[in-house]
Each structure stands twice: as C-alpha cells, then as structure tokens.
Amino acid sequence: MKEVFIFLAGLVSCFAGQAQGNFLQDATPLHRAEKALTDVIIHDIFSPPVSSRIYLYANMAAYEVLAKSDPEHYASLHGQVKTFPLIPSTNKKISSSLAAVCAFTEVGKKLVFSEPMLDDSLKNILAWYKTKKIDRSVYDASLKYGLQVADTILSWANKDHYQETRKLPRYRFLKKEGKWIPTPPAYMAAIEPYWNRIRLIALDSVTQYRPPLAIDFSKDTASLFYKQAYDVYQAGNRLTADQKAIANFWDCNPFAVNMQGHLHFAEKKISPGGHWISIVNVVALDKNMSITEASSVYTITSIALFDAFISCWDEKYRSNVIRPETYINDYIDESWRPVLQTPPFPEYVSGHSIISAAAAVVLTRLLGDQVAFDDNTETEFGLPVRHFNSFMQASEEAAISRFYGGIHYRAAIETGFDEGKLIGEWVYKKIRLKK
C-alpha cells in the first residue's frame, strides 16, 4: 500500500494553494470514477453477480468517507450492516471528496483484473482536482486517508466468502428432463452456482423472500408448463419492432458469443446491475446532486442489487428450471431461436426482474415516484436513448424485456419482480443513509 500512496502523492506534488469554491460537493469526480469502474468491469467480463460485488464495496468505501465528513446529515453503515467495520478517523485536514474518490478507486482496483485502467482514470480525476488549487498537505492527507478507508473495506470484503467459492468444484448440470442444461451457441458453463453462499448486506437470510415453487415440468400440451413455453414461442414469432428494441436495450449480456462460420468473437456489454448504476448517474446529474448525496444513492442502489442477486441465484440453482430455448427446441420447434442469447444459468426466477425491481423501489423511495429521465446507458453500444417517466416504469420494461427476448417464461418474470420489490422495500427500511 505504501507504493500506491507514493504513486498518488507523486501525481499531486506540483499542487499548491488553498482549497476554494463549491467544488468540494461537486459530484463530477465520483461520476467519472463510477464510469471508469463500469468500463473496467465490461473490459474484464465480470458476470452480473460478481459485478454487483465490485460496485458494492467501491461505493461503500466512498460513501463512508463522505458520511464521516457530514455526520449531521448522513449515517455510517456501521451499526446498520452486520459486522460492518468502524471506519478510521483522521485528525488531518482533508478533502473528503478527494479521499472518497481515492477510496473508491483503490477498492475497485483490488476487485478487478485491469488495475492500470483505474490508475489511468484516477490520474485524469486528479487532474480535475489540480484546477482547484488544493493545498499540498491537504492533498497528501486526503489520499492517505482514502487508502486507509480502502484497506478497512477490503479487509471486510475479504470475509464475505467470495474467495471460498472460487475453490469449490465446477458445477455439474443434471441430465434430467426439465432441468437446466447449457444452451447454444457457446454452451457455456454455469455462472456462479455457489453465489447463495456470499454474505448478505441488508437481508437477514438468503431465504427471507424465497419465491413460490416453480411450475412443475411437463411435456403434456395441456399442462401449465407447456402453455408457458408456448407463450414464449408465439411471442418470439410475433415481436413488434418496439418489443425487439426493448429486448435489445435491456439485454445487458456481459459476454455474448457471436458465431459466423468458423469465426467466434465476443461482444462485451454492460451488466444489468451496471445499467442501474448508470441510471443513478443520469438522475444524479439531472438533479445536480452533491457528491455526498450522489454517493448515498449509488450505495443504497448497490446494496439492493447485491442482495437481490444473491437471493435470485439461490432460487435459480435450487429450482434449476429448463430454459425456454431448450424446451421449445425439444418439444415444440427444433429450429426456433430466441431474439437474445440465453444466459448460462437456470431460468427461475428472472434476474433482470428481481434486481430491477429492487433498485427501482429504493430509488423511488429516496427520490420519488415521478422522476422522469432519459436513459442513455446503451448509446455507446449503438442503441438509442429511451425515456422513462419513473424508476418503476423502467424496471417493468426491464422485466418484460426478458420475455420479449425469449429467455424467460412469464412466471419467472412476474414472480421475480414481486420478490425484487420486497427486497427493495426491506433494504430501504433496514438501511437509512440520509438522516
């Protein structure tokens, strides 16, 4: 860690003068840090659950620095989240903004593969601070403190059982009717089958909001299971242009495999959790949030996403339901293909539904039920902006997009959405950041 501090200190050695103006509450550097982290997550191809873990700890680190600087209006996670550590204090004069961004970036660096990309990002952010003429001693103290907080958060993060799950045996899918098996075109191995072992943040247990049992598998054309599969099949054959646009907008597949003859290549996209982090960015900018307020919204959203993924993944590998693509190809039409590439994990419940509903609920509780915004998340992936009149409207569209995409039955979407709303309400009730 000393080497990191020397590096950072070297970047600010030429600065002098006194901090001035209102930049201390300017959220610009945090927004830049969030985008840089998202870019690295995309580059390194982290799965949706793992991505949520990276966002969680990085945002916690930044928030704790900022909350400590304004205890009158913001509450620490210490005492609200079980086992969450007490963040160290400092008697030095610091810029909480700079310290928070430093803590965010340092935590992010330790959780990704491409650390140099975040070093470059921090260098650019520090160039922004350079224009503010902060005193050299304040700079140095801020960076040092940010690293101390990062160390504390990382030490706690390392106890969440993630490392233990890296050592567990590879998941073996069941060769049994009605159960999930890998899907074309790449037939990828199951993603994060042990994610239900990861330490929760707000939920009391992984089974707290366990959904109803999935519909019983059946090949009988009169059965509920056949009917729900045929519903997906018919919808996929009759999609409107807008329905296809919705499916693609919310696809958020971090690693879509394209196969053209003998040529195989991957198309990297933002994760579904990253999409909601981007929505926070859009709204924070629209509302001109201070860095502390923006950080609190990023953090509570990250908590909702994180716990929702754990709850969802617990059910996925418990019920182990066959995907529509497999069922339809086996029992209805062997030539049928969904609009979207089927993700490599079981079907029930829908991850998009549960995490979108959870995020939308906490955002609605915090910011209101009529917050309109233009979601530009997907423009860098060649898709147009979509307008939403509320967070719930966006979450409902995200949920139904998986039906249009041909990768979920309606039951998984509706049940997952209900579960996500319960998780979001619980997170909002359990974790109160703004006093």
CA–CA distance, 386 with 379 (Å, rounded to integer): 10
Per-domain residue ranges of the chain: 2-160, 170-197+200-430
- End-to-end CA gap in the chain: 34
pLDDT in tens, 351-376: 999 999 999 999 999 999 999 999 99
Contact 323, 225 (CB under 8 A): no
pLDDT in the model for residue 21 = 37
Domains 2-160 and 170-197+200-430 share a fold: yes
User: 344-371 burial, b if ≥16 CB within 10 A, otherwise e?
Assistant: bbbbbbbbbbbbbbbbbbbbbbbbeeeb
The pLDDT, as a whole number, for residue 265 is 63
83: left (phi over 0), alpha (psi -120 to 50) or beta: left
The pLDDT, as a whole number, for residue 267 is: 83
Q: In Å, how far are 40, 286, 287, 365, 385 from 368, measured between CA atoms?
A: 31, 14, 12, 6, 22
Which CATH class for the 170-197+200-430 domain?
mainly alpha
Architecture category of domain 2-160 in CATH: Orthogonal Bundle (1.10)
Task: Kindly give the parts of the chain with pLDDT less than 70.
Answer: 1-23, 259-265
Which pLDDT value is given to residue 49?
A: 98
